[in-house]
Structure 1
Amino acid sequence: MNRFGFVRVTCATLRTTVASPEANCREIVRVLDSVTDSDVVVFPELSLTGYTCGDLFGQDVLLDGAARVLGEIAATTAGRKQLVVVGLPVRLENGLYNAAAVLADGEILGIVPKQSLPNYKEFYESRWFRPADGTEPLEVEIAGRSVPFGVDLLFESAGVPGLPVVVGVEICEDLWVPIPPSSYQAAAGAAILLNPSASNETIGKSAYRKDLVVGQSGRCVAAYAYAGSGPTESTTDIVFAGHSLIAENGRLLEESARVGDGSPLRRGSYWITSDVDVGRILAERRTTTTFDQGSRFVRPYRRIDFALATDMAGLRRFVPGAPFVPAEGPELHRRCAEIFGIQCAGLAKRVEQLPAGTSLNIGVSGGLDSTLSLLVTVKTCDLLGLDRSVVRGLTMPGFGTTSRTRQNALDLMGHLGISPETIDISELALQTFRELGHQPFGIDCRGLDVPAFREALARRPAGARNDLTFENVQARLRTFLLMSRGFVVGTGDLSELALGWCTYNADHMSMYNPNCSIPKTLVKFLVRYVAEHEFPAGPVRDTLMSIAETLISPELLPASAAGEIEQSTEGTLGPYEIHDFILFHAIRCGYSPEKVRFLSGFAAFTQEYPPALFERTMRTFFTRFFRQQYKRSCVPDGPKVGTVSLSPRGDWRMPSDADPAAWLGHAE
């Protein structure tokens, strides 16, 4: 475990020697010697004997051997600060139980019996075992010691202060019943749920098995580790999958190879390892108010202490550099289709409430955000059976507009068949400067016409690069012209909203914004998705791909002498990939700046970012996120499409006067 709450979990599939506890003991010890850096290691169901022993479970030779080697395995855990779970048959009074023994630091901490015994089709467990129901004795004599026994055991490590690690155990079929024991364990505080299992492989079963594990991790807001028996179990009638899975809060972290997945058959022991985030699990439970309501169903549990090391090195877990964007492939396309559909559905409902014939006005700049909004608006018209001519696209070139973005805007509007219009705002902006008595970049604009003013801008001193009034006047004029037309479809995205990268009551405002909860890193993928799936060939696709490759800029500062964009948003704020990474982990997950920085060291970014750049960008993020809240306090309606939304009416309520000092202190 490390100080941020990551716990390393291993699920092992064992090379099984059926009915030989000694051979299985040797193999378990060998595997444990190979995974000494893991905090928790779970082996399959009945791993000391093999699951398929049948009537041999009635033989004392087998039962005595399993009890004897259990003590040997426990001894190997001494000094390791590692929790180990192995399966074995356990005699207690007049019954025999399919059970899991929990070991740590040389001790047998407790034994958890199986509660749900399958006795249908290929399963026949009730012939040999008794289902546990909580009425069993509280202790059992095994391996020369008295050990806690029962379905009411949880295992707890104090771990890092404020991050207790509580572990629950259920066995195979326990997961497949309507209310698994792990549901009660989670409600009682277990954040890591372990399942030693023996699940045979049949056609289609692996997908259902995975759904069960991932779904239970989500319902329980927990990590769920499932270790499955493999093909070296007896194959008299069935073959075991060797399928192990580790999931966390509804997301699959790691999955092993299995019989029938097309990979080479593995007959030796193998394992999967992943670091589960107990810190995030506990934070998620605190904010998900319905989770705590499950406490009314909590049964009494005995908690047994164990120790974990807190100096875990590295991170065994995939950390996406773009957490809002799925990996390239079918999942990305499905996600884009889903988001685009939500955007269109949200806008369609709003448009239905407008008087018939109302035009839908949208500012089209030739940039990513306005392009996505335009595509949503056009597809919404198609959905509602409206002629696309009701969409009035207005491109408003100013002093920073380049020929590329202007042409892309005109081409896109023409190809999509909307009603296009161009209004050059240069004269209006120059007149506003005069009325305000403002001298942009120190230039006295009285008596200058637009061409003369442009020449003066080109000759301004090299150090005269910033003029907020110059930018804001242009942004507000564009919104003034749009809103003077009627209903305006907004274009700003989630990343801009988080950073306050918009002019208050300008591009900040609209009547409905379908982009409001889509981060910048995802906008480009959505535009590409629409290009490839809605317009697979032709001029619309070509224009969309050109827009996707354009430098991100508000184009409010003068272009270069060569007519190229000089105002790079990312050059000012830092890379959007870093901002979105911080946005997801700090706002969605509630991580501290230190934990975000730690994760960034393992993130699969599209490029390598120097630590100094990440630090600078993180300071920019937290400074602007706090100081720009007043803009988020009054934003237009728009649909939530992902797990992060900054709507003041829904997900994010924050005072505009909050002080970022504490966060900035942790960002040092």
Structure 2
Amino acid sequence: MKVVMSQINSIVGDINGNKKKIIDIINSHKDADLIVFSELCLCGYPPKDLLFQKDFRQAIEKALLEIANVVEKSYVIIGAPTKSNHPQKLHNSAVILHNGKIEKAIHKTLLPSYDVFDENRYFIPSSCREVVEINKVAFGITICEDIWNINNDENAMYDINVLEELYEKGAKVFINLSASPYHYKKFKSQRLQVLKEAARKYKLPIVYVNQVGGNDDLIFDGNSVVLNSKGDVVIKAKEFEEDVIEFELEDIEKLSQVDIEEDISWIKKALVLGIRDYFEKTGAAKKAVVGLSGGIDSSVVCCLAVEALGKENVLGVSMPSRYSSEHSIKDAMKLAENLGIEFRIYPIEDVFKAYLRMFNGSETPLQDLAEENIQARIRGNILMFISNRENRLVLTTGNKSELAVGYCTLYGDMAGGLAVISDLPKMLVYELARYINREREIIPHNVLVKPPSAELRPNQKDTDTLPLYEILDPILVAYIEELKSVDEIVQMGYPKDLVLKIIKMVERAEYKRKQAAPGLKVTSKAFGTGRRMPIAQRWV
């Protein structure tokens, strides 16, 4: 049996565009016996509240019929929402097309409602599990979360073990249509482990087809795989790219194991894809502008933007003040030169003096927080002026460590359309910078070795306000991503006073994060849809 895995980059809501892409693949593989696409690929994932719109649902129904019309001898499995008996909710389905018609729809059973997922809001679960026979092979067809609950013990998230039921009903091959978003090290440490355990437990091969592409804050890595009955990966699609792979089902047990390395390069690929798709799919702008401070964060963001959009579409802007060091301006200029991008300098001293005259009665600074923040806001206004006049999207440059503790300025360095590294802790930013420089110096060496500074007052250093990032980052990871308590973090070897101070800073900054630009998710717990904290609260 000739099987095709179709790992495509769907655009949420672009039903006609997604339909065309699907039809092109079907027409290019007319000799295939089975073509498998990813979860909700017809409408894109996650479609969110578009699913409540009647005309959106009708367009999906129409598109499914139009796709079915081009299907001949092949069986095609497409992820799409379908009608249910509920007045508002739908099914999340694997729709099987054959001989010009919709032959069957298998519905998702396990609906995740944690982290970034909210499927109970839109869908109802399948009431039964059934095996589908295609060309005399019994397939157990599952959708994403269905395959993640393989141990039905007291620690299981769900009462139903989908794979167990399908196995008992005679499934000989498992198929999983997925839209599993990426975070660093998820592929090897989590997803592959689940798939391997399932294959080994039931001694059956698995065909796993995942979505690829950036949709708002979520980045989907693709990495569709085929596992043999021993749990070995024998076929792997590309990471962070579209890919279509054809193979013979009968050959799965004969194929060699594929070695997979997941490292910092995957974060780079994820962020580049996230930027590129955000620009292409929103259509808001084709060009970007980045404020270049001469620091590590803006340098990394600019490098990623150039790779995603091309050097001709990225503008770097330096906006020095009286507190800016000479090396910072030179470092920004050198970065722009190394990248080959347009570079401009707009000093903010005159505008800053005007604020001092207005509020201080003279040009003499008081050197308080208001004066520090107004410099960031002057810069934010300059970037937004350029954005409006030249139709460029502002890429903000704050990292996760800063955003976590509120070491950022509303309507200043937080102003922009996309927060590229807002889910990247500071130490990971440095690691990514070193990777960017692995073959030649793109980010000037001085940027990697000088102490981080906002340069908003004389001789300012980040450590004036924050602990060393080597200390801050592990505490933030423990609290935000690992959900550890104060006592558990203290047991890691950190002083309780410091831990409480940092956690209080995190909670106090919630109101800022609610107003931040959307950020690209690359860790297990990002600020945004996956972390919903109250602003008005007194827990810590």
| Residue equivalent to 1:625 | 506
Using the TM superposition, give the Cα deviation of residue 520 of structure 1 relative to its aligned residue in structure 2, in angstroms: 0.8
Query: 1:639 and 1:553 mapped to 2: Cα distance?
Result: 24
Structure 2 SS opposite 1:352: helix
Amino acid at match of 1:640: K
Matches within 5 A, 1:314-329: none
Matches within 5 A, 1:542-621: 543-558=443-458, 566-598=459-491, 600-601=492-493, 614-621=495-502
Structure 1 SS opposite 2:437: helix
Using the TM superposition, give the Cα deviation of residue 359 of structure 1 relative to its aligned residue in structure 2, in angstroms: 3.2
Query: 1:493 and 1:576 mapped to 2: Cα distance?
Result: 12
Query: 1:335 and 1:216 mapped to 2: Cα distance?
Result: 15
Matches within 5 A, 1:636-651: 636-647=517-528, 650-651=529-530
CA deviation string 1:410-432 (max 9, x = no partner): 11111211110001101110111
Select between 471-480 and 504-513 the one with higher mean Cα deviation. 504-513
| Residue equivalent to 2:269 | 341
| Residue equivalent to 1:196 | none
| Residue equivalent to 1:295 | none
The structure 2 residue matched to 1:512, chosen from 418, 434, 441, is 418
Query: 2:272 and 2:474 mapped to 1: Cα distance?
Result: 26
Using the TM superposition, give the Cα deviation of residue 635 of structure 1 relative to its aligned residue in structure 2, in angstroms: 1.5
How well do the aligned residues superpose, as a CA RMSD in angstroms?
Answer: 3.3
Using the TM superposition, give the Cα deviation of residue 594 of structure 1 relative to its aligned residue in structure 2, in angstroms: 0.7
| Residue equivalent to 1:502 | 408
Query: 1:401 and 1:213 mapped to 2: Cα distance?
Result: 43
CA deviation string 1:498-554 (max 9, x = no partner): 11111111111211121111111100000010000xxx13xx44x433211121111
Query: 1:213 and 1:396 mapped to 2: Cα distance?
Result: 43
Asked whether the 8 Å contact 1:186–1:220 carries over to 2, the reply is no
Amino acid at match of 1:643: S
Using the TM superposition, give the Cα deviation of residue 180 of structure 1 relative to its aligned residue in structure 2, in angstroms: 13
Asked whether the 8 Å contact 1:346–1:638 carries over to 2, the reply is no
Matches within 5 A, 1:254-269: none
Query: 1:480 and 1:181 mapped to 2: Cα distance?
Result: 49
The structure 2 residue matched to 1:477, chosen from 375, 378, 389, is 378
Q: Go from structure 1 to structure 2 and tell me whether the alpha carbon gap of 1:214 and 1:424 turns closer, same or farther (over 3 Å shift).
A: closer
Asked whether the 8 Å contact 1:626–1:659 carries over to 2, the reply is no
Amino acid at match of 2:368: D
The structure 2 residue matched to 1:392, chosen from 315, 325, 339, is 315
Amino acid at match of 1:484: F
| Residue equivalent to 1:655 | 534
Query: 1:638 and 1:620 mapped to 2: Cα distance?
Result: 25
Structure 2 SS opposite 1:485: helix
Q: What count of residue pairs does the alignment treat as equivalent?
A: 301
Query: 1:354 and 1:645 mapped to 2: Cα distance?
Result: 21
| Residue equivalent to 1:38 | none
Asked whether the 8 Å contact 1:183–1:220 carries over to 2, the reply is no
Using the TM superposition, give the Cα deviation of residue 659 of structure 1 relative to its aligned residue in structure 2, in angstroms: 1.4
Using the TM superposition, give the Cα deviation of residue 590 of structure 1 relative to its aligned residue in structure 2, in angstroms: 1.7
Query: 1:587 and 1:659 mapped to 2: Cα distance?
Result: 17
Amino acid at match of 2:432: L
Amino acid at match of 2:384: M
Amino acid at match of 1:378: V
Using the TM superposition, give the Cα deviation of residue 626 of structure 1 relative to its aligned residue in structure 2, in angstroms: 1.3
Query: 1:581 and 1:430 mapped to 2: Cα distance?
Result: 40
Using the TM superposition, give the Cα deviation of residue 404 of structure 1 relative to its aligned residue in structure 2, in angstroms: 1.4
Asked whether the 8 Å contact 2:348–2:378 carries over to 1, the reply is yes
Query: 2:490 and 2:412 mapped to 1: Cα distance?
Result: 34
Query: 2:190 and 2:284 mapped to 1: Cα distance?
Result: 47
Identity of aligned residues (%): 26
Can you give the 5+ residue segments of structure 1 that lack an aligned partner in the other structure?
1-178, 190-210, 222-329, 383-387, 446-452, 458-463, 559-565, 602-610, 664-668
Asked whether the 8 Å contact 1:575–1:617 carries over to 2, the reply is no
Amino acid at match of 2:479: A
Structure 2 SS opposite 1:508: coil
CA deviation string 1:267-287 (max 9, x = no partner): xxxxxxxxxxxxxxxxxxxxx
Query: 1:633 and 1:422 mapped to 2: Cα distance?
Result: 31
CA deviation string 1:120-170 (max 9, x = no partner): xxxxxxxxxxxxxxxxxxxxxxxxxxxxxxxxxxxxxxxxxxxxxxxxxxx
Asked whether the 8 Å contact 1:490–1:511 carries over to 2, the reply is yes
| Residue equivalent to 1:126 | none
Query: 1:506 and 1:636 mapped to 2: Cα distance?
Result: 12
Query: 1:392 and 1:596 mapped to 2: Cα distance?
Result: 42
| Residue equivalent to 1:523 | 429
- TM-score, normalised to structure 2, is 0.51
Q: Go from structure 1 to structure 2 and tell me whether the alpha carbon gap of 1:182 and 1:355 turns closer, same or farther (over 3 Å shift).
A: closer
Amino acid at match of 1:516: S
| Residue equivalent to 2:292 | 364
| Residue equivalent to 1:438 | 360
Matches within 5 A, 1:259-298: none
| Residue equivalent to 1:408 | 331
CA deviation string 1:636-667 (max 9, x = no partner): 122211112011xx11111111114xx3xxxx
| Residue equivalent to 1:184 | 152
Using the TM superposition, give the Cα deviation of residue 400 of structure 1 relative to its aligned residue in structure 2, in angstroms: 1.7
Query: 2:309 and 2:419 mapped to 1: Cα distance?
Result: 16
Structure 1 SS opposite 2:394: coil
- TM-score, normalised to structure 1, is 0.42
Q: Go from structure 1 to structure 2 and tell me whether the alpha carbon gap of 1:218 and 1:392 turns closer, same or farther (over 3 Å shift).
A: same
Asked whether the 8 Å contact 1:496–1:502 carries over to 2, the reply is yes
Query: 2:396 and 2:428 mapped to 1: Cα distance?
Result: 17
Asked whether the 8 Å contact 1:391–1:419 carries over to 2, the reply is yes
Structure 1 SS opposite 2:289: strand
Q: Go from structure 1 to structure 2 and tell me whether the alpha carbon gap of 1:357 and 1:504 turns closer, same or farther (over 3 Å shift).
A: closer
Matches within 5 A, 1:75-224: 183-187=151-155
Amino acid at match of 1:528: R
Amino acid at match of 1:574: P
Query: 2:510 and 2:299 mapped to 1: Cα distance?
Result: 26
| Residue equivalent to 1:263 | none
Structure 1 SS opposite 2:315: strand
| Residue equivalent to 2:104 | none
| Residue equivalent to 2:128 | none
Task: Please tell me whether residue 634 in structure 1 is matched to residue 527 in structure 2.
Answer: no
Query: 2:527 and 2:423 mapped to 1: Cα distance?
Result: 7
Asked whether the 8 Å contact 1:519–1:580 carries over to 2, the reply is yes
The structure 2 residue matched to 1:373, chosen from 297, 301, 305, is 301
Can you give the 5+ residue segments of structure 2 that lack an aligned partner in the other structure?
1-146, 158-186, 198-258, 388-392
Structure 2 SS opposite 1:552: coil
Asked whether the 8 Å contact 1:493–1:518 carries over to 2, the reply is yes
Query: 2:463 and 2:429 mapped to 1: Cα distance?
Result: 15
Q: Go from structure 1 to structure 2 and tell me whether the alpha carbon gap of 1:184 and 1:212 turns closer, same or farther (over 3 Å shift).
A: farther
Asked whether the 8 Å contact 1:399–1:426 carries over to 2, the reply is yes
Query: 1:476 and 1:631 mapped to 2: Cα distance?
Result: 14
Asked whether the 8 Å contact 2:306–2:313 carries over to 1, the reply is no
